[in-house]
Structure 1
Amino acid sequence: MTVMAERTSSRMSVDLFERMAEFAASEDETVRFEFIDGRIGLKKVTNGNHGEPAMWLVFQCKHARPDLTLNTTGQGLKVEAYRKGRARPDAVLTRVGYFTDQGEWADPDGVLMAVEITSYDADTHRRDRVDKPRAYAEAGIPVYLLIDRDHHTILVHSEPDPEGGYADVHTVRLGGKVTLPMPVGIELDTAELKRWAD
């Protein structure tokens, strides 16, 4: 779950944000910071119904594409095209070894897909359906996958537009089949995701 603080960051530099995030992580391992659309967000440790869809997706991706890995450790991404942002997707799909030696905030150039799983909090709509699709598209991430547990759907965003957002958004009800476009190129049967929608 992420709780966004409604603070304007016009005076906060990315360097200051990163120092704050590093300090907070050393003091409290239950939260991690994000910096999106000029707002600081706290990303809290999730529960099983939030984590299980990510693990399910890990197995699906590895089975279909052994050359790829789905990182679910909270790897940070520099989404600098969008107001010098820093994001922590629920999962990030890359070629095996892409994050080696990249540190806490990696370059998004080698990211094939960012994944978010909705949380049951007041900020989910703005964070997962508005801010993050725009930030990921502007950073050039080819596919953004949103597992929307609130609406029992899976949304596949593709064709990133550097001016903001994705040109194509395909929605499928949980239980249906969906194809993740290239460069991912994986078909998913989402029936099992229905278990964690409530």
Structure 2
Amino acid sequence: MKGDIVPGTPDQLSVEEFEQIAAFAEREIETVRFEFVGGRMGLRKATDGNHGSIVMWLIRTWLPSWPELGLYPSRGLRVEVHRQGRVLPDGVLAPVGHFAGDGDWSDPDGVLMTMEITSYDSDTHHLDRVEKPRAYAEAGIPVHLLIDRDKRSVVVHSEPHPDDGYRDLHTVRFGGEVKLPDPVGMVIDTEVLKQYVG
């Protein structure tokens, strides 16, 4: 499942070794991809239909108002201190064409927002609610959106700080309106998310 962790430390597995494993897996095993967060390698398998429907809903939400921005599903990013982490956010908001010419992993410079959707597995709390927001803040990504299906809420993280993580967190229950701060600057109605829980 998304978030299954293979124990390790940065001393045991280098970023270069991780990238070789991840590239091999993507070529040979198309249904899984790997992440490297907090010095640990995580396995990310295919997601359920509701998860994919949320991603599509967000893509369709952005397109009419901001055609110059793209919400890229599972775009690999280099994060954490010295860009030693490798993550696959459920969505990355950036200008259209921003990642052209990049390989599997892109620098987060110019990324406006990352988005994660919780999965129903044992490591969701640690990975989606703790490790990834910390990594995105360290990388200086201005906004992080967490769609928490377990808690039926949306959490907007903003004001990233490399040492403290995101300094501003705002939570809205499914059904309410969520204001995404600048540089995103958008309000979204989350009523539709109620149908994608479970």
Pairwise same-fold verdict (TM > 0.5): yes
Give, in angstroms, the shift of residue 82 of structure 1: 6.6
Q: Distance in 1 between matches of 2:122 and 2:44?
A: 13
Q: Does the 8 A contact of 1:135 with 1:164 survive in 2?
A: no
Q: Does the 8 A contact of 1:37 with 1:83 survive in 2?
A: no
The equivalent of 1:98 in structure 2 is 98
The equivalent of 1:118 in structure 2 is 118
Q: Distance in 2 between matches of 1:139 and 1:83?
A: 7
Could you tell me which amino acid in structure 1 is paired with residue 160 of structure 2? Answer: P
Could you tell me which amino acid in structure 1 is paired with residue 130 of structure 2? Answer: V
Cα deviations by residue, 1:76-124 (Å, 9 ceiling, x for unpaired): 0000427710000001000110010011000100110000000000000
Moved segments of 4+, more than 6 Å:
none
Give, in angstroms, the shift of residue 16 of structure 1: 1.1
Q: Does the 8 A contact of 2:80 with 2:136 survive in 1?
A: no
The equivalent of 1:47 in structure 2 is 48
The equivalent of 2:183 in structure 1 is 183
TM-score (norm 1): 0.96
Change (3 A) 1:71 1:83: closer
Cα deviations by residue, 1:164-193 (Å, 9 ceiling, x for unpaired): 410000000000001100000111000001
Q: Distance in 2 between matches of 1:195 and 1:7?
A: 38
Q: Distance in 2 between matches of 1:5 and 1:82?
A: 22
1:33-112 pair list within 5 angstroms: 33-72=34-73, 74-81=74-81, 84-112=84-112
SS across alignment from 1:89: coil
TM-score (norm 2): 0.96
Q: Distance in 2 between matches of 1:139 and 1:165?
A: 10
Q: Distance in 2 between matches of 1:20 and 1:191?
A: 40
Q: Distance in 2 between matches of 1:137 and 1:195?
A: 30
Q: Distance in 2 between matches of 1:156 and 1:82?
A: 25
Give, in angstroms, the shift of residue 7 of structure 1: 2.1
SS across alignment from 2:81: coil
Gaps of 5+ in 2: none
Higher mean alpha-carbon deviation, 6-15 vs 104-113, is at 6-15
Q: Distance in 1 between matches of 2:190 and 2:151?
A: 14
Q: Does the 8 A contact of 1:35 with 1:86 survive in 2?
A: yes
Q: Does the 8 A contact of 1:37 with 1:131 survive in 2?
A: yes
Give, in angstroms, the shift of residue 62 of structure 1: 1.3
Gaps of 5+ in 1: none
The equivalent of 2:144 in structure 1 is 144
- Aligned-pair identity (%): 56
SS across alignment from 1:144: strand
The equivalent of 2:23 in structure 1 is 22
Q: Distance in 2 between matches of 1:164 and 1:41?
A: 24
Change (3 A) 1:19 1:2: same
Q: Distance in 2 between matches of 1:9 and 1:116?
A: 24
Q: Does the 8 A contact of 2:177 with 2:188 survive in 1?
A: yes
Cα deviations by residue, 1:7-34 (Å, 9 ceiling, x for unpaired): 2232322111101110111110000010
